[in-house]
């Protein structure tokens, strides 16, 4: 969808016009009160569920375990919207597109976007789809930050917020990991200050390192030991500093390689920065309870015990601030072994919690629909 | 000290001759039973204590809080030996030196060295100093692995082993962090396959990234939050993906910069590989208790609660295997906030434990000396 009303960003910069890629699943009901917006994290897109019919681009939606007919977020009941954020590289306006003012790729000139900017753009799309009020906003990790920010920016436009494996802001360690990844990209000679498109190169080395670092932090120590341990790639040790010796090395190199083939380097910088900046309590003397004063939505907050990047204690901060404000909140701490990645994986307990929550929402919606008949 | 007897390495390769840089502190007693060998970790050297008299190279030894006159390892009582390992970049033979066969810098041709190789070289130096049996071997992190390996390789040549913030082997996550750091170095175009010396360049970009990653993992989450939190470098957010915004970024960049000025890239690869390879239980069906069967030394094992890179549970594995073999072991789990770095820092409880242990050793030595008179 194309938007021509300028978007004033938190940085003070302005996007005169932009395109937002999105997908929808299921049908909007007559009361238009069954819309669920899904917000993505670092490297995902608007393609949240299902498989593309077109065989060439056949790829499963990134949250297909969660969303679809008969799934926890049941598209037979709910109208689900997947959206690609500004600055991302999967269809919405981003740094690889032409800057209308220069007629060159934006590159590093693409304005820095924040979670709040994304939410504002999302709201315009939701509104353009004829939806006054979202039944739910939902996301994991950075997506959870958006789901939270919606309830702060548009308290009367969202009924339920589902915040998974997220945090009210990044701590120093998380910012640190983001920074190392960014430096790896920026220092890659093929980055050319962000204008690599003009040179027909890609800062693959930097992207690989960034992804390898990310991958380590998405997994738990335990799951890495269970999956790889100290298993060797070859039967015997080769005594080499540059060849692969351990399976974990092979896995990480492969992940880095794959990522560098499809992900945009400038997008990586932009999205990690949005993560760094998000901090709704900042303007409230770092008091999250104060920041939540105008909230109206009900919440489902979920964390995973082995997630050391967005640990349960960070989710509990959100829960505490909600309780301080007497907001309805359901909180589940799932004992899944997979670390931060758990929010994308199939775990019966996790999916059951989400399913139960959406079944309750469904009842409320159906009751309203009957009242309306 | 120069050695001309060839050293056959675990890889099967051979070093025909080599130099080992070392320093000593205190005096060897008449019974020659008060010698303490200090083994270093990744980026340290033989300069373990004191300050060089020469003003130009004035630098405090890396374990000066621990070792010196009146300190926990009291150089008024003990003869302390600091040694620089083979392949390191502080004086002992390493990749930046001339390969006698080619008359060029070794570069990536420098043979891969293991903890066991280092210990063997150390033993030759200790023997050349006229010491039959070490009173103690001591080290933290990778240094602790050496202190442990001594007792396995030379069970009758070491009386006490002090293993601090260490592990019986690296887990998958640790190997993963090492691998990312190595890839950052190897992929730096200035690395030139390890032969950058010939090109008069240094793979600084890679070294910086490696060090930044390392630094994150040496600190605990808590100490990083306490020290830096989300503090901004400037008063206001600049909305930039490449400029420093947060203090933690500034700190990491500075650490990376400093490190890249003095540390050798090939040494980084070699030393992290030695860490990866160390695994004394490997030839014993991964049964550490079996691997420890021939041990004779007494142990002091210390871990730090907030150390997530070499967590207490890994130290407990060592302690358990020692107990299984009825070896004398003192174990202390220190509640220090600093993460892995704690082993290098001043913490009263930590230093007291080491002091008490060495005071006991001192008593034993003095008793022997009196018996001998």
State the pLDDT confidence band at B177, using cuts at 50, 70 and 90: very high
In terms of residues, how long is chain A? 373
Q: Which pLDDT score is estimated for A138?
A: 98
Q: What would the mean pLDDT of A286-292 be, rounded to a whole number?
A: 98
How far from A82 is each of A45, A61, A129, A370, B104, CA to CA, in Å?
Answer: 7, 10, 13, 28, 59
Q: Which pLDDT score is estimated for B58?
A: 55
- Cα dihedral A318, A324, A328, A332 sign: positive
B221 contact A CB<8A: yes
What is residue B358's DSSP assignment? H
Residue B104 has pLDDT above 80, yes or no: yes
Q: What are phi and psi of B81, to 5 degrees?
A: -115, 125
A220: left (phi over 0), alpha (psi -120 to 50) or beta: beta
Please answer yes or no on whether A179 and B270 come within 8 Å at the CB atom.
Answer: no
Please answer yes or no on whether A225 and B173 come within 8 Å at the CB atom.
Answer: yes
**Residue B307 annotated among the catalytic residues of the structure:** yes
Q: Which pLDDT score is estimated for A221?
A: 87
Which of A:130-189 have CB within 8 Å of B?
169-173, 175-177, 179-180, 182-184, 186-189
Pair type for strands A98-99 and A79-83: unpaired
* Shortest CA gap A108–chain B (Å): 9
Q: What are phi and psi of B34, to 5 degrees?
A: -120, 25
Q: What would the mean pLDDT of B66-73 be, rounded to a whole number?
A: 96
> What pLDDT digit, counting tens, does each position of A109-125 carry?
999 999 999 999 999 99
Catalytic site residues of A? 141, 307, 340
Q: Which pLDDT score is estimated for B50?
A: 82
What is residue A200's DSSP assignment? T
Query: What is the spatial distance between Cα B363 and Cα B14, in angstroms, rounded to a whole number?
Result: 42
Q: What would the mean pLDDT of A319-323 be, rounded to a whole number?
A: 98
B313 contact A CB<8A: no
Are the C-beta atoms of residues B288 and B168 closer than 8 Å to each other? yes
pTM for the whole structure: 0.94
Residue A57 has pLDDT above 60, yes or no: no
A270 contact B CB<8A: yes
- Which of A246, A254, A173, A177 is CA-nearest to residue A210? A177
Q: What would the mean pLDDT of A325-344 be, rounded to a whole number?
A: 96
Task: Name the 3-class secondary structure at B13.
Answer: coil
- What DSSP element (H or E) covers A288? helix A288-291
Chain A residues near residue B205 by CB distance under 8 angstroms:
187-188
Residue B145 has pLDDT above 90, yes or no: yes
State the pLDDT confidence band at B153, using cuts at 50, 70 and 90: very high
State the pLDDT confidence band at B369, using cuts at 50, 70 and 90: confident
Q: Which pLDDT score is estimated for A309?
A: 93
Q: Hey, of B230, B233, B276, B307, which one would you mutate to test binding to chain A, going by the most A CBs within 10 A of its CB?
A: B230
User: What b/e sequence results for B295-316 when a residue is b if at least 16 CB atoms lie within 10 Å of its CB, and e otherwise?
Assistant: bebbbbbbbbebbbbbbbebbe
- Which of A279, A280, A278, A325 is CA-nearest to residue A298? A325
Q: Hey, of B180, B212, B246, B250, which one would you mutate to test binding to chain A, going by the most A CBs within 10 A of its CB?
A: B180
Residue B289 has pLDDT above 50, yes or no: yes
* Shortest CA gap A30–chain B (Å): 42
Are the C-beta atoms of residues B342 and B304 closer than 8 Å to each other? yes
A50: left (phi over 0), alpha (psi -120 to 50) or beta: left
Are the C-beta atoms of residues A357 and A302 closer than 8 Å to each other? no
**What's the helix, strand, coil split of chain A in %, to 5?**
45, 15, 40
> What pLDDT digit, counting tens, does each position of B108-123 carry?
999 999 999 999 999 9
How far from A247 is each of A232, A244, B178, CA to CA, in Å?
Answer: 5, 8, 13
Instruction: Tell me how far apart the terminal alpha carbons of chain B are, to the nearest angstrom.
Output: 33
Cβ atoms within 10 Å, residue B32: 15
Q: What would the mean pLDDT of A59-82 be, rounded to a whole number?
A: 95
What the block records as the tokens of A131 is 């939806």
Q: Hey, of A176, A228, A282, A309, which one would you mutate to test binding to chain B, going by the most B CBs within 10 A of its CB?
A: A176
Mean of all residue pLDDT scores within chain A = 95
State the pLDDT confidence band at A331, using cuts at 50, 70 and 90: very high
> What pLDDT digit, counting tens, does each position of B224-237 carry?
999 999 999 999 99
Residue A135 has pLDDT above 90, yes or no: yes
Are the C-beta atoms of residues A108 and B241 closer than 8 Å to each other? yes
Query: What is the spatial distance between Cα A206 and Cα A212, in angstroms, rounded to a whole number?
Result: 10
What is residue A280's DSSP assignment? T
State the pLDDT confidence band at A340, using cuts at 50, 70 and 90: very high
Please, is A372 exposed, middle or buried when counting C-beta atoms within 10 Å of its C-beta (0-12, 13-18, 19+)? exposed
Pair type for strands B18-19 and B22-25: unpaired
Query: What is the spatial distance between Cα B146 and Cα B157, in angstroms, rounded to a whole number?
Result: 14
């Amino acid at each position: 969808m194309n938007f021509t009303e300028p978007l004033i960003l938190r940085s003070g910069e302005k996007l005169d016009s932009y395109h937002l890629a999105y997908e929808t699943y299921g049908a909007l009901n007559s009361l238009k009160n069954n819309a669920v917006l899904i917000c993505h994290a670092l490297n995902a897109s608007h393609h949240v569920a299902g498989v593309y019919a077109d065989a060439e681009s056949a790829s499963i939606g990134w949250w297909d375990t969660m969303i679809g007919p008969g799934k926890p977020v049941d598209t037979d009941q709910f109208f689900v919207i997947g959206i690609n954020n500004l600055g991302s590289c999967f269809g919405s306006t981003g740094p690889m597109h032409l800057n209308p003012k220069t007629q060159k790729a934006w590159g590093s000139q693409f304005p820095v976007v924040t979670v709040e900017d994304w939410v504002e753009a999302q709201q315009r799309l939701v509104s353009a789809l004829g939806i006054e009020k979202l039944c739910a906003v939902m996301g994991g990790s950075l997506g959870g930050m958006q789901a939270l920010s919606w309830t702060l920016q548009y308290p009367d436009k969202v009924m339920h917020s589902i915040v998974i494996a997220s945090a009210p802001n990044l701590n120093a360690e998380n910012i640190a990991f983001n920074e190392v990844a960014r430096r790896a990209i920026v220092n890659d000679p093929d980055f050319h200050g962000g204008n690599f498109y003009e040179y027909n190169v890609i800062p693959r080395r930097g992207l690989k390192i960034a992804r390898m670092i990310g991958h380590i932090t998405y997994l738990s120590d335990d799951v890495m030991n269970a999956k790889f341990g100290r298993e060797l790639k070859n039967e015997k040790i080769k005594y080499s500093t540059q060849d692969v010796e351990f399976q974990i090395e092979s896995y990480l190199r492969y992940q880095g390689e794959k990522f560098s083939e499809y992900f945009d380097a400038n997008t990586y910088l932009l999205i990690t920065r949005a993560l760094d900046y998000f901090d709704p309590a900042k303007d409230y003397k770092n008091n999250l309870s104060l920041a939540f004063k105008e909230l109206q939505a009900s919440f489902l907050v979920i964390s995973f015990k082995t997630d050391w990047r967005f640990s349960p204690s960070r989710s509990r901060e959100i829960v505490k601030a909600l309780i301080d404000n007497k907001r309805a909140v359901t909180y589940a701490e799932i004992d899944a072994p997979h670390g931060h990645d758990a929010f994308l994986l199939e775990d019966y307990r996790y999916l059951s919690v989400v399913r139960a929550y959406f079944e309750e929402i469904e009842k409320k919606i159906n009751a309203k629909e009957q009242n309306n008949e």
